[in-house]
Amino acid sequence: MDLKSFDLTGKVALVTGASYGIGFAIAKGLAACGATICFNDINDELMQKGLANYKEAGIEAHGYVCDVTDEPSVQAMVKKIEEEVGVINILVNNAGIIKRIPMIEMEAADFRKVIDVDLNAPFICAKAVIPSMIKNGGGKIINICSMMSEFGRETVSAYAAAKGGLKMLTKNIASEYGQYNIQCNGIGPGYIATPQTAPLRETQPDGSRHPFDQFIMAKTPANRWGEPEDLAGPAVFLSSAASDFVNGLILYVDGGIAAYFGKQPS
């Protein structure tokens, strides 16, 4: 075994919703190890912004306009990538949304929207790439899960339901398609500083840290929020031959949150 096991040269990766944030950092990590990057965003303006971000990082990425909840559009994107770039070897289901609303105040339509983007879309995208992966002799699928794949908390019922479901979709893809040399694993990020969590980190009018920010600091043995780049190494591992016998795992990248019983009273 040598470092070549982590080499992704010649591999085509599709990272969904990766114009910025966690997806972008994961894509940068995969590109640094040799992969060709494809990503999508929901409209041309956002996709062009993403392309500019990759260019600035020195990466010649391929950008596509596609809403991951729209199955015909996902099928068309995957076909286009196969024609223009090559068969997808690595799929990272990263695109996601959250709606923080107390459950009894939440409209069913909002609940459905979150389930659609965070759970149905990974199914749609995985379904679109698996047939070619089978023909190609294998592939890697990484689903971006969450602390909420394991835990609940106030206001995130739809998100927790979706991410808990995504954990089980991960295990089921591994179970159903492992025989074709397809490895499907999850990454469960802890609390990461991205636009998605920006409202939880806003500085208060008196200059103090947001109460949720203080709560997360107390919950995290690493004593910091994660950075999107913290996800890159685990994503490279799960995309590479180094993890060929790892299947159905959810790798929590959380600075120790899931291991920690909580701060003792001072």
Interaction of residue 94 with ligand NAP, rule CB under 6 A: yes
Residue 181 backbone class (left: φ over 0; alpha: ψ -120 to 50; beta: rest): left
Locus of tokens 């024609």: 83
Binding flags for ligand NAP, 124-163, as an x/- string (CB under 6 A)? --------------------x-x-----------------
Distance CA 174, CA 128 (A): 16
Give the other-Cβ count within 10 Å of 97's Cβ. Answer: 15
Which of 54, 64, 159, 252 is catalytic? The answer is 159
The nearest distance, CB 19 to ligand NAP, in angstroms, is: 5
Distance CA 124, CA 130 (A): 10
Question: Residue 100 binds which one of ligand GCO, ligand NAP, none, with CB within 5 to 8 A depending on kind?
Answer: ligand GCO
Stretch that binds ligand GCO, among 102-110, 131-139, 146-154, 179-187 (CB under 6 A): 146-154
Give the other-Cβ count within 10 Å of 79's Cβ. Answer: 12
Residues 257/190, Cβ–Cβ less than 8 Å: yes
Determine the size of the site formed for ligand GCO (CB under 6 A).
Answer: 13
Residue closer to ligand NAP (CB basis): 133 or 235: 235
Question: How far from 187 is each of 21, 63, 104, 136, CA to CA, in Å?
Answer: 15, 23, 30, 24
Q: Which of 8, 148, 173, 250 binds ligand GCO (CB under 6 A)?
A: 148
Give the other-Cβ count within 10 Å of 125's Cβ. Answer: 29
Residue 62's DSSP bridge partners are 38
Interaction of residue 114 with ligand GCO, rule CB under 6 A: no
Interaction of residue 190 with ligand GCO, rule CB under 6 A: yes
Residues 21 to 40: which contact ligand NAP by CB under 6 A?
A: 21-23, 40
Q: Which of 5, 43, 175, 196 binds ligand GCO (CB under 6 A)?
A: 196
What DSSP string describes 228-254? GGGGHHHHHHHHSGGGTT--S-EEEES
Stretch that binds ligand NAP, among 53-61, 176-184, 186-194, 205-213 (CB under 6 A): 186-194
Amino acid at 146: S
Residue closer to ligand GCO (CB basis): 50 or 255: 255
Has 260 been annotated as catalytic?
no
Distance of CA 211 to the CA centre of its chain: 26
Residues 14/81, Cβ–Cβ less than 8 Å: yes
Rg (CA), the chain: 18
Interaction of residue 242 with ligand NAP, rule CB under 6 A: no
Binding site for ligand GCO (CB under 6 A): 98, 100, 146-148, 153, 156, 159, 189-191, 196-197
Binding site for ligand NAP (CB under 6 A): 16-17, 19-23, 40-42, 46, 67-69, 94-97, 117, 144, 146, 189, 191-192, 194-197
* Residues carrying an active site annotation: 159
